Structure 1
Amino acid sequence: MNLTAIIIVAIVCWAIVELVNGPKGKKKDKSNSKQAAATDELQRDIATMRERIETLEKIVTDEKYDLNRQFDDLKKDKVA
């Protein structure tokens, strides 16, 4: 084989490798950024939910809440 044939084969092999690996590398970057954004959003949602749960726990465990619930139960029994 002469030098020209070797260069042509090398270029063709390089092109095949780029076609096979090139798009995957770009897709990985895009999918990683999408996954990172989704993960960040989910973490914010979890933090928000934790705050809401803590607030609900405070309300439900409050003595006034229990007393009001008991009064409501008594009112229901009186009406019925």
Structure 2
Amino acid sequence: MDITAIAIVAIIVWGIVEVFGWNKKTKKEKEDPKLADELARLKERVQVLEEIVTDEKYNLKREFDALKRTG
């Protein structure tokens, strides 16, 4: 896996945590089912992004694109 892909995923996850303040959950957040649903959806989206970035075809396409630019 490319180090750039790891960095991108880490930055995305960090940003989501910071924006939604999941590291500082309040009582209201724990009781609100809407927030729980949104959290589940965002976790799914992050999982999909991780799968895309770690996919061999994705890396292969990036390598071909890099070769085209240098060639």
Normalising by the residue count of structure 2, what TM-score does the alignment of the two structures yield? 0.53
What are the residue-to-residue correspondences of 1:1-80 with 2, within 5 Å?
A: 35=28, 39-78=32-71
Can you list the C-alpha shifts for 1:23-60, whole angstroms capped at 9, x where unaligned?
Answer: xxxxxxxxxxxx58x72111111100011111111111
**RMSD of Structure 2 on Structure 1 (CA):** 1.8
Q: Which runs of at least 4 in structure 1 moved beyond 3 Å after TM superposition?
A: none
In terms of fraction of residues, the more helix-rich structure is 1
Displacement, 1:76? 1.4
Normalising by the residue count of structure 1, what TM-score does the alignment of the two structures yield? 0.47
Question: Over alpha carbons, which structure has the higher Rg?
Answer: 1
The gaps in structure 2 that reach 5 residues or longer are: 1-27
- What CA distance in whole angstroms lies between the structure 1 residues aligned with 2:45 and 2:66? 26
The gaps in structure 1 that reach 5 residues or longer are: 1-34
